[in-house]
Chains A and B, each alone.
Chain A
Amino acid sequence: MNSTEQVVQVTVKLPKEIYDRVVHAAAGEQQSLEDLLSILVAEGLDAHASVRELFEHVSAQYRARLAGEGKLDQSADTVLQELRAVREQIAGELYPS
C-alpha cells in the first residue's frame, strides 16, 4: 500500500466461514490479512463501477497531483515532448548499448 494514501481503521464482523477463507487465502498469497481484506473490498467496489467510473477516480487523483505540482496546465505538445524524453530514458536503462 502506498504510504501516502490515507487509511481509516475499521472493525468488521465476518461470518466464521468467510474469515477462515480469507485467512487461508492470505496465507497462500503471503499477504497480511489487513492488506488482503483491503484489496477484496476495493475489488468488490470495482465490480459495481463502470469502466468510466474507475478511470474517473484515477483521473481525479492524477489531475489533483498534477495541479499540486503545477503541471496540469502544460500544453499537449509539452506533455508529448516529456513523454518522448521519458521513453528515451527508459529505453536507455532497459537496453544499454
Chain B
Amino acid sequence: MNSIRHEAVALDTNIFVFALRKEPVYPACEILLFDKLSELHVYLPLQIFVELQRNLTGAEMRGVVRALRRAKTVTWDYAPAPAERIVHWEQEGAKKGDAVIAAHLEAAKIRYLVSENRHFLTEIPASPFQVLRSETVIELLK
C-alpha cells in the first residue's frame, strides 16, 4: 500500500497551469486537480504560490485558492526556503529555481512532488523527494 493518500504532496505550478489550460499532452493534470483533489493532502510552498500569482489574475488565483480548500488538507507554507539548502542543491546541479523547490520540500519533509518538469530527475538525482507525474499519482490513488 502506498502512502500517497496519507502524506502531503507538493503540486508543482505546471500541474495547475496544464490543468487549467486543459493541455491535451498532459490530460492527467486536469483529472488529478479537478477530480482527485479531495483525496490529497496538498502542500504549497512560497515559491509555487508566487509562481501561481505571476501566472494568474487576482480573480483566477482566488478561484484556485477556493477550490484548493476542498483538498483533504492544504498547507500554504509562506516561509522562505533555507538559504544554505538552496546553495546545497545548486551545488548538486539544480538550477536556482529548482533548488528553491528542493529546499522547501526538504525543510517541510515532503516526500512527493507532482510535476511534469522532468529536469528535477536529471538535475537532482539524490533529491530527498520523489518526482511523480500526475498520471502516476492517479494510478497510485486507485
Interface residues of chain A, those whose CB is within 8 Å of chain B, are: 2, 4-5, 42-43, 46, 51-52, 54-59, 61-63, 65-66, 72, 75-76, 79-80, 83-84, 86-88, 90-92, 94-95, 97
Contact = CB atoms under 8 A, between A and B. Distances in A.
B34 A51 contact: yes
Nearest to B48: A87
Contacts of B121: none
Interface string B95-111: 11111110000000000
A52 B70 CA distance: 10
A2 B23 CA distance: 27
Contacts, number: 115
Contact of B46 (A62, A76, A94): A94
Nearest to A72: B21
Contacts of A42: 66
Interface stretch (B2-10, B54-62, B124-132): B54-62
B75 interface: no
Given A59-B22, A66-B21, A79-B18, A84 B37 contact: no
Contacts of B97: 84, 87-88, 90-91
B26 A90 contact: no
Given A59-B22, A75-B25, 11 more contacts: A2-B58, A51-B38, A57-B63, A59-B19, A76-B25, A79-B18, A80-B117, A88-B96, A91-B47, A94-B46, A95-B86
B35 interface: yes
Contacts of A57: 63
Interface of B: 13-14, 17-23, 25-26, 33-35, 37-38, 46-47, 50-51, 54-60, 63-64, 66-67, 70, 80-81, 83, 86, 95-101, 116-117, 119
A4 B23 CA distance: 26
Contacts of A55: 19-20, 33-34, 63-64, 67
Contact of B55 (A2, A61, A86): A86
7 contacts: A55-B19, A55-B20, A55-B64, A58-B64, A79-B21, A84-B97, A90-B51
B78 to A, nearest CB: 11
A5 B46 CA distance: 26
